[in-house]
Chain A
């Protein structure tokens, strides 16, 4: 256990024990994170909004509850966290007036600059009820579209492991904040890898639950059939803890499923003996960095030594994932982003005529990647191309899902790389959209099939973190967490922290 690490760099599980034994207070944890935010947030560009006073007030409330031993039903009581700025946070009262401590929501876009939500996301509601303390909203790629956080209208985030490189994306502010001790956990959203890939690039744990496991209510929509919310943490156990709070049916999201929520922590037995793990050969592709392949193969060996039965499997349509994704996701995005019309909320160009106001508001408000995807999606859905592109992609989606189902009928989980590469220099791929899209080649098939996946640190290549991905059956997050936790305990990378994490 990392008892020698500075307070803000420890895991939730460790500091929760300190809170329970009264060796640390929620106020101390909050102040420790705020000190890191004060020191690093501007340089790393991790946060788009914070409210230190509101966080301290919430911490004092948590300490009062802890003093009364009042922990029932609040597994995250006193734990400071951050929300990706794609989750709305309530910032207006019923009279439409700003609430004290209410945080704005931008989705990383100019078009939502200054937007104050009249309602809270399900994630914000559940985490407040669980006792967690909101520190602020983290930077992200605009509307969660990107793999490097360079598409944020508010500037790129820097990776605390090497500040000349990207932290991954689109949940790059969340990954960098958790890696650098600015929050004990952060929420991200994952449409094609946006939780797992930034987790891999920053040496953190990132969990994308099954589609339908967690409510999407109050998540700014990107691609509604692919989007899922999940945690970025410093241990698999912490990811299990946060998932337990987030998971469950929400009547406000009709795609959230009424499946029972198991005790995820109970699944963390440390034992993988006899589990069958499939290694899909198509995930070790040309163009993968040798250092990544070495680290991932070594991780799979650790699981074998722990008694798992490792078998080769094939997911033949893997290389169709990228094309399928880049039709379906932009198509859904082009429909979802139609709502930014300069009328009800958000920026407005102030034109006198409606049509001109639509086109100029959107032309000025959206950044280059968002425009590209709106164009791509509109094209794929337009008359004459709908069958050839959109329907075709939906058919290939059926094939990709069927291949996963077939493999997962013979193995308990799939193990693979999370990202084909480690963190790359800021600016290296901004002029080549296709090269950028390839970052998610190993993660986006999982969204296409709607399955749960986790990235867990599996060492360093050239001093930069590498992630092992574990993919499971629909609604079997328990097995995914069990495999990742057993690996984490055995591998000895649980205390990996970037150079910034030294107080």
Chain B
């Protein structure tokens, strides 16, 4: 499994919405293969009787009163946007043929 192909790398980059240059894809293929090889040593650990831990603290359903409280103003929330059309964020064209 550690033999990660160039196509695998391109697929994962696509999933991560990450543009990588040809040179980066080459380097990523080599480095990910090495890292995954080290990581795959976990396969030797017997976990057949072990449950997963997602968080070390056991919290469930942290609730609070549903009351209106002051938050970040609209102007402050929009202030860092690369493109805005007050009072909205602007986004580039979303729909494109084939997507």
Q: Which residues of A contact B (CB under 8 A)?
A: 92-97, 115-116, 118-119, 211-212, 225, 251, 254-255, 257, 317, 320, 322-324, 326-327, 334, 338, 341-348, 350-360, 362-364, 366, 368, 371-372, 374-376, 378-379, 382, 385, 388-389, 391-399, 401, 433-434, 449-450, 474
Contact = CB atoms under 8 A, between A and B. Distances in A.
Contact of B16 (A334, A344, A433): A334
- Please classify the interface of chain A as helix (H, G, I), strand (E, B), loop, or mixed, using the class held by over half of its residues: helix
5 contacts: A225-B56, A346-B82, A357-B92, A372-B35, A394-B54
Q: Which of B35, B54, B59 has the most CB of A within 10 A?
A: B35
For the complex of A and B, list the 7 residue pairs with the smallest distance between their C-beta atoms, beginning with the closest: A450-B56, A363-B19, A394-B52, A348-B82, A345-B80, A96-B79, A118-B76
A143 B16 CA distance: 17
A24 to B, nearest CB: 38
Nearest to A390: B52
A212 B32 CA distance: 32
Interface of B: 1, 4, 8-9, 12-13, 15-21, 24, 28, 31-32, 34-36, 38-43, 45, 47, 50-57, 59, 62, 64, 72-73, 75-83, 89, 91-94, 96, 99
A105 B66 CA distance: 31
B61 to A, nearest CB: 10
A375 B57 contact: no
A343 B79 contact: no
A291 to B, nearest CB: 26
Contacts of B35: 326, 372, 376, 433-434
A436 to B, nearest CB: 11
A355 B82 contact: no
A396 B47 contact: yes
A474 B58 CA distance: 13
A317 B99 CA distance: 45
B24 A371 contact: yes
Given A95-B75, A375-B16, 20 more contacts: A96-B73, A96-B78, A97-B79, A119-B76, A255-B59, A317-B45, A341-B17, A343-B91, A353-B93, A353-B96, A355-B17, A356-B92, A359-B17, A363-B18, A364-B19, A392-B42, A392-B47, A395-B45, A434-B38, A474-B56
A360 B16 contact: no
A160 to B, nearest CB: 32
Given A94-B75, A225-B55, A342 B82 contact: yes
Contact of B82 (A94, A347, A393, A398): A347
Contacts of A450: 56-57
Contact of A375 (B9, B38, B39, B56): B9
A273 to B, nearest CB: 31
Contacts of A251: 64
B76 A359 contact: no
Contacts of B96: 353-355
Nearest to A319: B41
Contacts of B39: 323, 326-327, 389
Contact of A397 (B13, B53, B57, B82): B53
Contacts of A351: 92
A407 B72 CA distance: 46
Given A372-B28, A396-B42, A359 B56 contact: no
A376 B77 CA distance: 32
Contacts of A401: 53, 56
A441 to B, nearest CB: 12
Given A322-B38, A354-B92, A382-B12, A343 B81 contact: yes
